[in-house]
């Protein structure tokens, strides 16, 4: 069942139901080596899923749960390996969006849920985007509004002494460091792929080509006269584009980005120009998704 959270829509299954979890991988066409995040409605459920809540995790839970943050912890023996793609760790997250919380409470079990998109496509921020990717492949969708944040949760590995930021999101590195100063950004180096399996997979890419442009460049930008082009950014470009989104703020940019990518694909856009943003706050996560979309 697909359901909305404050970040993106997720596709959920009972963490203890191996068959249901297998169906998630099938519906999304997700590689089986990419682990799922378990969504909980209580601290008791975190204890049931994990072998240990480390000291750093405890601090992050206190500061940011419920919210757009996933903590990777040693898994308990109860969690089936299909949920964690064979890893002995599990990502746990407690969404703060009220409808998600009500749904999870009603389930009475932790719910593993990847983003509810076909693997490789941008995460869905509306129920319509879930229909677009998964109609006929899943049983039902809990319909809500467009998601508030629009980018996936921040993921932090809390299994070691030094917390590692694995995926950027609405909770910034600066906010994490404020709570645990040792926290560092994980830089993948090729031989440690088990640590952050999701990073090696293709992600967030629209079919259209994505180009990042700087502030100066954005203001001077003109649409191509030969190919369909689109623009998203904070600045107003010089010319009018086939599709364009002038964002009110970096938060608005984050919230709109994935739906804009999808809108461009629906409208046959060839190239999407995306204005770069400062990397403070959620800006770092926006830049991360843009860079992945460029290389995707």
Q: Which residues bind ligand TXA (CB under 6 A)?
A: 5, 7-8, 10, 34-37, 70, 72, 84, 87, 89-91, 93, 113-115, 152-153, 155, 166-167, 196-198
CB of 63 to ligand TXA, least distance (A): 18
Asked whether position 56 contacts Mg ion by CB under 5 A, the answer is no
CB of 20 to Mg ion, least distance (A): 18
Choice between 7 and 56, CB closer to Mg ion: 7
235 binds, among Mg ion, ligand TXA, none (CB under 5 to 8 A by kind): none
Region binding Mg ion by CB under 5 A among candidate stretches 63-71, 111-119, 249-257, 258-266 = 111-119
**CB 24, CB 85: distance < 8 Å:** no
Choice between 133 and 263, CB closer to Mg ion: 133
Choice between 12 and 233, CB closer to ligand TXA: 12
Between strands 184-185 and 89-93, the pairing is: unpaired
Residue (of 113, 42, 36, 49) closest to 78 by Cα position: 49
Choice between 41 and 115, CB closer to Mg ion: 115
155 binds, among Mg ion, ligand TXA, none (CB under 5 to 8 A by kind): ligand TXA
Q: Which residue is nearest to ligand TXA (CB)?
A: 198
84 binds, among Mg ion, ligand TXA, none (CB under 5 to 8 A by kind): ligand TXA
Choice between 121 and 243, CB closer to Mg ion: 121
Tell me the β-bridge partners of 211. 273
Choice between 114 and 283, CB closer to ligand TXA: 114
- Does a cis peptide bond (omega within 30 degrees of 0) precede residue 66? yes
**Structure tokens given for 280:** 């403070």
CB of 239 to ligand TXA, least distance (A): 35
Please work out the total of residues on this chain that contact Mg ion, with binding judged by CB under 5 A: 1
CB of 116 to Mg ion, least distance (A): 9
72 binds, among ligand TXA, Mg ion, none (CB under 5 to 8 A by kind): ligand TXA
- The Cα–Cα gap between 29 and 23 comes to 9
Provide the 10 A C-beta neighbour count for residue 23.
16
The one-character DSSP state at 150 is -
**Structure tokens given for 20:** 């249901």
**CB 185, CB 173: distance < 8 Å:** yes
Q: Where are the beta strands (DSSP E) in 158-281?
A: 164-167, 184-185, 209-213, 229-233, 243-246, 271-275
- The Cα–Cα gap between 274 and 294 comes to 10
Question: Sheet containing 89-93: which strands, arranged edge to edge?
Answer: 13-14, 111-112, 37-39, 89-93, 69-74, 154-157, 164-167, 184-185
CB of 208 to ligand TXA, least distance (A): 21
Q: Could you say which of 41, 45, 50, 115 contacts Mg ion (CB under 5 A)?
A: 115
Using DSSP, state whether 153 is helix, strand or coil.
coil
243 binds, among ligand TXA, Mg ion, none (CB under 5 to 8 A by kind): none
Contacting residues toward Mg ion, per CB under 5 A: 115
């Amino acid at each position: 069942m697909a359901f909305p959270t404050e970040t993106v829509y997720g596709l959920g299954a009972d963490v203890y139901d191996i068959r249901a979890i297998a169906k998630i991988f099938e519906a999304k066409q997700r590689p089986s080596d990419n682990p799922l995040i378990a969504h909980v409605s209580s601290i008791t459920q975190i204890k049931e899923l994990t072998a240990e809540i480390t000291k750093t995790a405890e601090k992050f839970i206190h500061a940011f749960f419920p919210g757009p943050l996933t903590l990777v912890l040693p898994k308990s023996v109860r969690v089936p390996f299909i949920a964690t793609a064979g890893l002995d760790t599990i990502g746990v997250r407690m969404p703060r969006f009220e409808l998600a919380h009500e749904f999870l409470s009603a389930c009475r079990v932790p719910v593993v849920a990847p983003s509810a998109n076909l693997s490789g496509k941008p995460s869905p921020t509306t129920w319509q985007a879930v229909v677009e990717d998964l109609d006929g492949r899943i049983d039902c969708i809990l319909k809500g509004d467009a998601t508030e944040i629009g980018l996936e949760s921040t993921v932090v590995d809390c299994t070691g002494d030094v917390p590692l930021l694995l995926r950027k999101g609405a909770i910034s590195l600066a906010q994490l460091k404020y709570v645990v100063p040792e926290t560092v950004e994980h830089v993948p180096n090729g031989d440690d792929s088990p640590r952050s399996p999701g990073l090696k997979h293709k992600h967030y890419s629209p079919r259209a080509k994505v180009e990042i442009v700087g502030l100066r460049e954005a203001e001077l930008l003109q649409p191509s006269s030969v190919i369909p082009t689109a623009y998203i950014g904070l600045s107003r470009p010089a010319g009018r584009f086939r599709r364009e989104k002038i964002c009110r703020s970096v938060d608005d940019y984050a919230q709109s980005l994935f739906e804009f990518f999808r809108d461009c694909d629906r409208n046959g856009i060839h190239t999407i120009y995306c204005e770069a943003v400062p990397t403070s706050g959620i800006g770092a996560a926006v830049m991360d998704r843009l860079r992945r979309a460029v290389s995707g």
